[in-house]
Each structure stands twice: as C-alpha cells, then as structure tokens.
Amino acid sequence: MTWLTLLLLGLVMLLVLLVVLQPDSKGMPPGPKGLPLIGNLFDLLWEDSPRYFNRMAEKYGPLYSLQLGLRRVVVINSSHWLTQAFVRQGDMFNHRPRGTVLSFIMGGKGIADAEDQVWRESRRFTLHVLRDFGMGKSSVEAYVNRELHDFLETTQKKVGQPYDVHYDLATSVLNIVWHMFVGERFTMGDKNLKWIVDSLEMSLTLVEQGGFLNYTPMLQFIGTFLKPKAFKVGANVKHRLDYFTQLIADHKNNLDNPDRPFDFMYEYLAEQRKQIEQGRKDIVFTDNQLKWLISDLFIVGLDTTVTTLRWCLLFLVRHPEIEEKLFQELDSVIGIDRHPTYEDRLRMPYTEAFINEVFRYGSITPLALHGNPEETTLNGFRIPKRSWIIGNIYGIHWDRNVWNDPENFRPERFIDKDGQLIRSENVVAFSVGRRNCLGESLARIETFQFLTGMLQKYKFGVPEGHPIPGLGCQCGVTLNPKPFDLLLTERSAKAG
C-alpha cells in the first residue's frame, strides 16, 4: 500500500468521522458558524464565556445556538425565554448536563450536580429544613447579626490602614451557615475555619462554568490536573470531606440526645434513620451524599454573599456620592443608635435599589447551566436531546436593549419618579425555576444587614498612594472583583 493510498484512506475516514460526529443543527436557533468538530470552541480561549455569550447575543438575538466541540449549546439571553425554559418548561429543562467539569469532580452527588430522585429528595428536604430554621424570619436574622457584631469588632482593628476585607467577610459569612448546618461556630482565627474557607474558595476558582474545558471531555482530566492549583484543591477537598465524616460520626453519637441542638446535619441523619427503619431500598440519604450536600450548601452560602458584599464595597469606594446617599437614607430611617433589621429595607428604597444594581452589574453567578434529556422545542426551535442550555444571567443583566447604559453603575434606574423601588423581572441574579439558588433568602438578609451595619459605622475610601480599584473581575463559578484594599474611617457619634 503506497503512501498516497494511505493518505486517501485517511481522508475518507476523516470525512466519515466529520459526518458521524458533527452535531445536527437543523431547525435549531441561529448562531455563528464554526469549524468541523471544533465549532466555536477556540473563541473561549481568548474571552471569558459570559462576555463571549453576550457578544454573540448582540448579533444573533436572545436565543441562539453554538457548537462548542461536540457539544450543541443553546444560550438564553433574555428573562422572558429564561422563564419560559426554566419555569414553564421546567420539567424538560431543569436537568444538569453530563460531561461538565463539575460532574467530573462530583459524580452526581450533592445537590448542584444531582439529578432525578437524588436531586428531588435532597432539594425538598433542604427547603423543608431551611423553613423550619426560620429562613427569612427573625431567628435567622439573629444569627446574622451576631456574626455582623463580631465582624465589626474585627474591622475596628483595621481602621486607618489599607485593608482587604475579603477574608474577614468570608469567615463571618461561613460562620452563619456553619451554625445552621453543623450546629457550631468558630472563633476568628481558628485554624479549621481558615482551611475550610480556603478550600471552598479554591474549589470555586478552579473551574469556569462555561469555560473551555467544559466542552472538551478528553481534556478535562488532563487539563484540570495539569493546573498546579488542582493538586492542592484535590487535597483540600479530601481533607474537607474527611472532616465532614468526623462531624457526621459525632452527630450520630449524639442523635438520641433529647437536648441536642437543631441543625441541618441532625435533621438529615434523623431522616436517614427513618428511611432505614422503613426498609427503603432506594435510600437517597446516605453519609456520602450528606458530605457532598453539606459541601454544596457551604459553597452556595459562602460565595454568593461574600462576592455580593465585595462588589458593594467596591462601588462604595468608587462612588462616594452614592455612599453619602445611602448613609443619608439610613440615618433618616434608622439613625445610628440601633441596628438595622431586615424589615427596615421596606422603608429604604435607595438601599434596595443599590443592592439590585450590584446584583445586575456584578452578575455574581453569571451562567445557569441546564440540560434537556429529550428532544423538545423552545420558541419554535428544535432543541436536540442532551443539549446544553445556558442561561446567560450576565447577558440578561447587560442587555443594552433593556438597560440602555449597562456599563454605568446607576442605582437610580431602580427608582421611579415618586422615589419608590422599581422591581424588575430582568434582574435574575439567583436564576429562576427549581434549579434557582436555594440560599437566596439568606443571601439577601446577609447582604442588607452587613451593608447597612458597615455603613452605620464607617466611611469607605481609597488608601493613600493606592489607585482607585478597577472593575476587572475573575471569572470562575462566580464573577469576583479582583483583590482590592480600602480605607475605613469611623463615623463620628453625630450622624455624618
């Protein structure tokens, strides 16, 4: 066999491979043309996925499709079609696609990557316990205020010097969810608290949800573990799960104690025992599932709030005139002699507008990644089975047709002519449907309480000799502001 014959044979095999593997795009939403087998994948090497998806929406509209490697991807860039897919057609679209880096790591455990019975029962149980805990009520607010008090005592030592608030915020917020889910709280500086915070945050920064590796299954193993940080992440995850194993054992030993505290882990283990005693064969409530579920809930409870508050502080530093408006409203409604309550927000429309604008501009969780197990339609377009459905939260929040000037930070866009709050359906920071963020209520309470608590006590500025922090961000599971220092100045006893 000559080299020419081998070459021709190779070309024929390549053509057959292209025909067999090329995803069928007939009847699908419009979108950019791509290379065979590769599609538009290489575009994600040069641009982070939320901004790339948003740029494509400006050309192809609020519903379009892409080929990313062998993945057929449908991107949703409007709140209308997001609600249509994830709420009205939620039975079809509220699934998780297989083959993501997340599923590679978690294997369908926990709640973020779980499917079918595991997801349904875990979600139902989690919502039930959170309601019993008093989510959205004064009982949860009391836990938040206790940690806020300790946080403000810690920040007192940082007055007048350059201060990156990130770690102290993270430890305070983690303590809130730690108490709810495990029944304990750490003191500031506790070594276990530090490595747990580091472990959770490192896991979040390793993978960009819509990034390059998600669409290249063969590269996920190689690419993930070629990152030097990944070895440390793997060790931290194992350490974290081992630590949870010990916590589970301690809780089991104390499960029959009538004076045991109320926390998520005890309630889970009680339900586990109940299902075992009932002789259920399809039991979901296993120790392994509990470890991953707790890990998921900590990540959600930690990162969403900490990232939101860091965006809040960044905009206060950049816009002292906005800070002054916020303080004037705070002073007129509450004063500085009592702590704000979550109920106070109803009389503070500008503060609520500021938080909504932070949710919009920051787009803390920029993408909502879903899947459909069977072929279906959306807006008359064919959606092949096992497509990846990406709700581009960032794109919705930065849609120029909706916001006119999305690049400008302007809380006033949420205030009407009578000075009242405008509630916009186009702010979908926590997504929509049954896969939305379970920690939304807690995140809203924490954001309002910490923001107003800090505003009562401090003015925020730029340390001498430091540049005004920029708006660049790090794109992982969340969009995080890049590290920055601020300068705290105590407010005088007299308002101002």
Residue-level pLDDT at 241: 84
pLDDT score at 340:
92
Sorted by sequence, the CB contacts under 8 Å of residue 146 that are 6+ apart come out as none
CATH of 17-490, one of 3.40.630.30, 1.10.1140.10, 3.50.50.60, 1.10.630.10: 1.10.630.10
pLDDT at 222: 46
Q: What is the pLDDT of residue 17?
A: 55
For residue 169, what pLDDT is reported? 93
Whether the CB-CB separation of 367 and 58 falls below 8 Å is answered with no
- Binding site as annotated, residues: 437
Residue positions in the annotated binding site for heme?
Answer: 437
Predicted pLDDT at 228: 47
Would you state the structure tokens that stand for residue 443, as one six-digit string? 């995140």
| Residue 314 confidence (pLDDT) | 98
Please tell me the predicted confidence (pLDDT) of residue 130: 86
- This prediction has a pTM of 0.90
The pLDDT assigned to 220 comes to 46
Question: Distances in Å between the alpha carbon of 161 and those of 279, 470, 484?
Answer: 61, 19, 13
Q: Each residue of 256-266: pLDDT tens digit? A: 998 888 899 99
Q: Are 384 and 371 in contact (CB under 8 A)?
A: no
Which positions of the chain have pLDDT values less than 70? 1, 3-25, 98-108, 134-138, 203-236, 493-496
For 140, the 3-state DSSP assignment is: helix
With b for 16 or more beta-carbon neighbours within 10 A and e for fewer, the 402-419 pattern comes to ebeebeebbbebbbeeee
Residues 6+ apart with CB under 8 A from 137: none
Instruction: Write the CB contacts of 58 (distance below 8 Å, at least 6 apart in sequence).
Output: 400
The ranges assigned to domains in the chain are 17-490
The secondary structure of 401-447 as a DSSP string is HHHS-TTS--GGGGB-TTSPBP--TT--TT-SSTTS-TTHHHHHHHH
> DSSP strand E in 69-174: where?
71-76
Can you give the pLDDT at residue 234? Answer: 61
